[in-house]
């Protein structure tokens, strides 16, 4: 169990190494317009939408390790395509591969580690494990972005070489993992079909409305925050942020995000689930609405706050999910959550891009904050 935890942490650091996080700027440097960049992101999420549940089913059917390995191979091929692409359609293919790389690991490493704990009757440690994993992500991602920031002026192609290298090292971690036993009445044999897993997952979603509501809330919250994060890259380039300034912002982001991950278990103990989620939604809406009158410094502050909220929400929802989901359907149902997120991103990302082009970054996201506030009040008031 302890060996799996250490290897899982190592895999997480390598898989979430954020060296290619400045992909919007990279594609702008390669000659793509904002519309084409938005289409690439839509292709990524449409592919993810179509592939997310099957990828989780594969993990439940064939085992975690082989699915994780397939994801890292897809990541390597994605990096090669991004380096060699010469037109929009090649870049689009690269985003299809990137979506598969994301799908094949989405929820899988968490499920593997949870079952490793379950095999040793230590599932009470899982909140700490998720906290550690998200802290690693919040460190590995900005470290990669910091390196990319130093390469931003004409050398971002190096970031994809480093991305491929990290994927290769992650495969080394996967090969050393122990495949845990599943907590299920029937072992994962040839008799356990993908259709049976799908039906069982659908049954759980029908029976537990709380799980459905959590998934929709998580998807909407993360989609808004992620869209803000990526479109803020265009703000940084439009306002001529220097590499030093970008690096400084990212350092502050990393510090705040690590602090947010550390606070998550305390927040979960301090407030009931509904009250905590309501508070996070209000803070998100306030950060978005503040863009309507904020100056450049205020926009940077909103960027930092929204990234902090994203850091808090991931381990929080992961804990809630795994308390409700049975082991045999864990990877599949976690993939359903990611599928809902992808569906929202397919629509939200190009719509927000169009709004930014037609008006401004501030008006587009400030208006989104007003919508969040109204919808959040209606939902939580009804509950």
pLDDT at 29 over 90: no
223, part of any domain: yes
290, part of any domain: yes
Please say whether the beta carbons of 192 and 332 come within 8 A: no
147 or 376, greater pLDDT: 147
Give pLDDT, residue 38.
Answer: 85
Q: State the Cα–Cα distance between residues 279 and 36, nearest whole angstrom.
A: 36
187, part of any domain: no
Q: Which of 54-68, 71-85, 358-372 has the lowest mean pLDDT?
A: 54-68
318, part of any domain: yes
Look up the domain containing 83 and give its range.
2-180+194-382
Please say whether the beta carbons of 131 and 315 come within 8 A: yes
67 or 58, greater pLDDT: 67
- Total domain count for the chain? 1
Give pLDDT, residue 221.
Answer: 92
Give pLDDT, residue 116.
Answer: 85
For 270-282, write each residue's pLDDT tens digit: 888 778 888 899 9
For 303-338, write each residue's pLDDT tens digit: 999 999 998 888 888 777 777 766 656 666 676 777
Give pLDDT, residue 265.
Answer: 80
CATH number, domain containing residue 123:
1.20.1250.20
State the average pLDDT over residues 374-380.
Answer: 77
Give pLDDT, residue 190.
Answer: 39
pLDDT at 147 over 80: yes
Q: State the Cα–Cα distance between residues 138 and 92, nearest whole angstrom.
A: 28
185, part of any domain: no
pLDDT at 186 over 50: no
The separation between CA 114 and the C-alpha centre of its own chain, rounded to angstroms, equals 19
Q: State the Cα–Cα distance between residues 356 and 339, nearest whole angstrom.
A: 25
Q: Is 122 exposed, middle or buried (0-12, 13-18, 19+ CB in 10 A)?
A: middle
Q: State the Cα–Cα distance between residues 26 and 18, nearest whole angstrom.
A: 14
Q: What is the 3-state secondary structure (H, E, C) of 33-95?
A: CHHHHHHHHHHHHHHHHHHHHHHHHHHHHHCHHHHHHHHHHHHHHHHHHHHHCCCHHHHHHHH
Q: What is the 3-state secondary structure (H, E, C) of 231-270?
A: HHHHHHHHCCCCHHHHHHHHHHHHHHHHHHHHHHHHHHHH
Confidence at 192, pLDDT banded by 50, 70, 90: very low
118, part of any domain: yes
For 223-249, write each residue's pLDDT tens digit: 999 999 888 988 888 888 877 788 788
pLDDT at 154 over 70: yes
State the average pLDDT over residues 169-188.
Answer: 73
Please say whether the beta carbons of 149 and 233 come within 8 A: no
186, part of any domain: no
Give pLDDT, residue 383.
Answer: 58
For 285-312, write each residue's pLDDT tens digit: 999 999 999 888 999 999 999 999 998 8
Q: State the Cα–Cα distance between residues 43 and 105, nearest whole angstrom.
A: 18
- Residue 339 per-residue DSSP state: H
Confidence at 213, pLDDT banded by 50, 70, 90: confident
Geometric angle at alpha carbon 5, from 4 and 6, rounded to 5°: 95
- Provide, rounded to the nearest whole percent, the portion of the chain with pLDDT above 70: 89
Token couple for 97? 């591969």
The separation between CA 106 and the C-alpha centre of its own chain, rounded to angstroms, equals 8
For 90-123, write each residue's pLDDT tens digit: 999 999 999 999 888 877 888 888 888 888 777 7
Give pLDDT, residue 330.
Answer: 66
215, part of any domain: yes
């Amino acid at each position: 169990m302890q060996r799996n935890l250490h290897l899982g942490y190592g895999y997480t650091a390598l898989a979430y190494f954020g060296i290619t996080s400045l992909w919007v700027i990279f594609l702008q440097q390669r000659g793509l317009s904002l519309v084409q960049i938005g289409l690439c992101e839509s292709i990524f999420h449409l592919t993810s939408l179509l592939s997310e549940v099957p990828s989780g089913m594969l993990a439940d059917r064939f085992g975690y390790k082989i699915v994780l390995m397939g994801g890292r191979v897809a990541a390597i091929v994605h990096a090669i395509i991004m380096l060699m692409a010469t037109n929009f359609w090649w870049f689009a293919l690269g985003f299809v591969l990137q979506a598969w790389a994301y799908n094949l690991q989405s929820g899988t490493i968490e499920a593997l580690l949870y079952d490793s704990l379950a095999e040793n009757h230590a599932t009470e440690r899982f909140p700490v494990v998720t906290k550690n994993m998200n802290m690693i992500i919040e460190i590995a991602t900005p470290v990669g972005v910091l390196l990319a920031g130093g390469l931003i002026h004409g050398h971002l192609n190096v970031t994809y070489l480093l991305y491929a290298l990290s994927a290769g090292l992650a495969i080394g971690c996967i090969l050393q993992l122990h495949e845990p036993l599943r907590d299920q009445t029937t072992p994962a044999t040839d008799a356990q079909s993908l259709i049976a897993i799908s039906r069982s997952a659908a049954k759980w979603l029908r029976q537990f409305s709380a799980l459905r509501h959590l998934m929709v809330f998580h998807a909407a919250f993360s989609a808004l925050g992620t869209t803000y994060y990526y479109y803020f890259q265009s703000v940084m380039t439009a306002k001529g942020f220097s590499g030093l300034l970008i690096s400084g912002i990212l350092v502050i982001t990393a510090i705040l995000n690590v602090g947010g991950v550390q606070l998550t278990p305390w927040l979960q103990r301090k407030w009931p689930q509904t009250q905590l989620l309501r508070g996070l939604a209000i803070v998100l809406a306030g950060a978005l609405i503040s863009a309507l009158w904020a100056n450049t410094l205020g926009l940077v502050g909103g960027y930092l706050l929204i990234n902090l909220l994203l850091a808090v929400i991931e381990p929080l929802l992961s804990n809630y999910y795994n308390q409700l989901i049975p082991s045999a359907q864990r990877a599949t149902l976690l993939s359903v959550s990611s599928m809902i997120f992808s569906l929202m991103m397919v629509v939200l990302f190009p719509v927000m891009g169009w709004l930014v082009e037609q008006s401004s970054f501030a008006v587009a996201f400030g208006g989104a904050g007003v919508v969040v506030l109204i919808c959040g009040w209606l939902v939580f008031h009804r509950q």
